[in-house]
A and B are shown apart, each in its own frame.
Chain A
Amino acid sequence: MATAIYNTLFRRNWTMLGVVFAGAFAFELGYDKVMNKVWDSNNRGRQWKDIRHKYIEGGDESEE
């Protein structure tokens, strides 16, 4: 099992580099998502997207 993973992912340098970059991409996506969620939950009710409906009726997402 360990040998198989090692042989497929880390044995050759270019494979390892690819795995590392792919991992970096995935990590960044996940990290950004989590951090945005943390930020939004910390600032709930204070951001424009939370209070927008009080000031703009209709045309919800069509207008930016």
Chain B
Amino acid sequence: MAAPLRTASRALARSTATAASVRTAVRAISSTPAVRDASSSYQSPFKGGESTTKVPDFSKYMSKGSGSTNALFSYFMVGTLGAISAAGAKSTVQEFLVNMSASADVLAMAKVEVELDAIPEGKNVIIKWRGKPVFIRHRTAAEIDEANSVSVASLRDPQADEDRVKQPEWLVMLGVCTHLGCVPIGEAGDFGGWFCPCHGSHYDISGRIRKGPAPLNLEIPAYDFSDDGKLVIG
């Protein structure tokens, strides 16, 4: 019983001694250059008592540079790694997002230019845009008056004519019936506008639904008039 107890206490004593000695050793190494110069003949930091532990000579592995140079180098390496990682992460995210955006051929198809000079007054033109027909009508003054004379509140999908056009003489809309997607016929129907032959929806000269099953007015695409008399759809 007594023997293990004594061993334990001795181990305890030894560990405290080692801890203390390590602290001294560290302090001795990291302090002034005078101590470092003396490291060729290394002095054990253990004072007094018989030396049971040989502390190896680590001076060979010590950095030759000064502390500030080492710190600078370490932080430089850390910072460089961080910078490269940040650039890589940014690039990864960006490439994924760019990959999702529309490619050049899709963008090229997305816009259509129309020469407006070629469309005489009172005529319809149907062009294809993103796989859908687009109606362009050059309206006469009488037709514009007719579109404006309708009482907006009486409509199924109330919308004033000036909300549907950018220039009153040019009506641009998607030629897809809002009922089930047929293509309405121009200059037909009870209201002088468009008539859908599939289920008999009548649209007026502003493309608004007046009669029949369709719930909404004909849709207006995004378009713009360029300076040189062209219409750009898309």
Q: Which A residues lie at the B interface, using CB under 8 A?
A: 2-3, 5-6, 9-10, 16, 19-21, 23-25, 27-28, 31
Contact = CB atoms under 8 A, between A and B. Distances in A.
B181 interface: no
B66 interface: yes
Nearest to A21: B86
Contacts of A19: 79
A16 B75 CA distance: 9
Contact of B91 (A5, A6, A23, A28): A28
A9 B72 CA distance: 9
B75 A24 contact: no
| B: interface residue count bin | 10 to 19
Contacts of A25: 87
A6 B86 contact: no
Contacts of A21: 83, 86
A6 B75 contact: yes
Contacts of B90: 24, 28
By secondary structure, the B interface counts as helix
By secondary structure, the A interface counts as helix
Contacts of A31: 87
Interface in B55-74: 66, 68-69, 71-72
A10 B72 contact: yes
9 contacts: A2-B71, A5-B72, A9-B79, A10-B71, A10-B72, A23-B80, A24-B82, A24-B83, A24-B86
A49 to B, nearest CB: 14
Which 5 residue pairs spanning A and B have beta carbons closest together?
A: A23-B83, A24-B83, A24-B86, A10-B75, A3-B68
A24 B69 contact: no
Contacts of B86: 20-21, 24
B84 interface: yes
A6 B79 contact: no
A14 to B, nearest CB: 13
Contact of B84 (A3, A5, A10, A27): A27
A6 B71 contact: yes
Interface string B88-110: 00110000000000000000000
B132 to A, nearest CB: 26
Given A28-B87, A28-B90, A31-B87, A23 B72 contact: no
B66 A27 contact: no
A27 B87 contact: yes
A20 B82 contact: yes
Contacts of B76: 10
A10 B90 CA distance: 23
Contacts of B69: 2
B196 to A, nearest CB: 40
Contacts of A10: 71-72, 75-76, 79
